Amino acid sequence: MRKLRDVLRLKYDSQLPLRGIAQACGLGLGTVSTYLQRAVAAGLTWPLPEDLDDAALEARLFTRPVAPAMADRVLPNWATLHQELKKPGVTLTLLWQEYRAEHPHGYAYSQFCERYRQWARRLKPSMRQVHRAGEKLFVDFSGKRPVLTHPTTGEFILVELVVGVLGASRYVYVEACPRQDLTAWITAHVRMVEFFGGSPALLRYELGEWRDATVNIDYHAVVEYNYYSVPYQLVHQHVEVRLAAATVEIFLKGRRIASHRRRWGRGQFSTDPAHMPAAHRAHAEWTPSRLIAWAATTGPATAELVTAILAAKPHPEQGYRACLGLMRLSKHHGAERMEAACTRASHLRAPSYRTVATILATGADRVPLADGLEPPAVLPSHAHIRGRAYYTREEALCSLTPPSTN
């Protein structure tokens, strides 16, 4: 949809011929012609509405809406939508998409926006902002890419626009740059203050860098060697990432889908639990201390066995499946039988899920330990017989350390 916006801008702003537009955008002549015809049919003019993101633009040009019956149209709750619009990243397009997902025969996008604006006009007027002369300079990349023509070769060159506006006088400075990078940003500021003949007291912009990324199968996008989550339904999607000094924002087709605090270094994860599938979210809520606390509510033998399972693994997460399996066994057989089975498993020096499951399946937990069941013989002490504890001591100590969270 970026190229569609470029086609419309070059046609109506720059007045380029179709062949020049095709060359500048890297599109076929037929494609450019089709885009312009669809835009006319959809009633779109340039500039496009500010709240028309890429998804809504695609929907208006490449889908054919079915006119619903008037009786089926549900009037949105404008007051709720008005409050939602105050949240970062929320647009009328996003709210309309959510509205149509819930009411497929509701208002079309244009009617939805028009009715909202009619409702909003009745609200209390906002306070007028007053700026003192020389106090503030508002500056940013415009996001629009004009085309320059090389004076010798006639080649069309896409450029970026840096726009600065003085708050009080609304005096504007515009400069074309080859790209959105730090060098162009700083040099444009130097020439801007030279043009104005002085520097304002305040410039309120946060420099951001843009990256392209692909969502991995673990629903995280890799940015600057660190990992940031997005909703799991977007696996394998191509997204855009805006890097600021303290935040990382992820966009899909012009709409923000995730925001994280920026991580520094390498290999760090920032995961929003709301982005996880239900099964992953349930697993992530468990920690070694929580599993041991659950086991203690059943009895001391169960707590001892769970502790032994976690300590026997190089990483405690490797023992989660067995511990959660014990929890299911407890729900099925009851706390009394679970405690008896764990007591017998510890007596056999075999603290594992499989041992407890076998004891419960065979009913051995109901047999008193005094009925001829003796513990296994203890290995003799010898310099060359180190025993299991020698190999698991360091691993157990490491695994009992709570894992770091990001």
Output phi, psi for 345, to 5 deg.
-65, -40
SS (H, E, C) 324-338: HHHHHHHHHHCHHHH
Q: Helix, strand or coil for residue 212?
A: strand
Q: Which residues of the chain have pLDDT under 70?
A: 1-2, 63-72, 88-89, 124-130, 143-144, 205-207, 279, 281-285, 315, 317, 370-406
Average per-residue pLDDT in the chain? 80
110-155: pLDDT as tens digits: 888 888 888 887 775 555 566 778 888 888 877 667 888 888 888 8
The single residue listed with the structure tokens 């190229």 is 3
> For residue 35, what are the CA distances in angstroms to 9, 14, 50, 57?
12, 16, 19, 11
Residue 284: name the closest of 297, 302, 264, 269 by CA: 269
The single residue listed with the structure tokens 């023992």 is 319
Sheet with 220-223, side-by-side order of all strands: 220-223, 226-229, 269-270
123 burial via Cβ count (<10 Å: 0-12, 13-18, 19+)? exposed
pLDDT at position 172: 92
pLDDT at position 340: 94
> For residue 145, what are the CA distances in angstroms to 25, 57, 262?
11, 18, 28
pLDDT at position 107: 87
Kindly report whether the global pTM for this prediction surpasses the value 0.85.
Answer: no
pLDDT at position 32: 85
> For residue 101, what are the CA distances in angstroms to 77, 201, 230, 274, 368?
15, 47, 21, 20, 62
Let me know: does 150 contact 157? Beta carbons within 8 Å.
Answer: yes
pLDDT at position 63: 67
Q: What is the residue extent of each domain of the chain? A: 2-120, 137-196, 209-281, 286-399
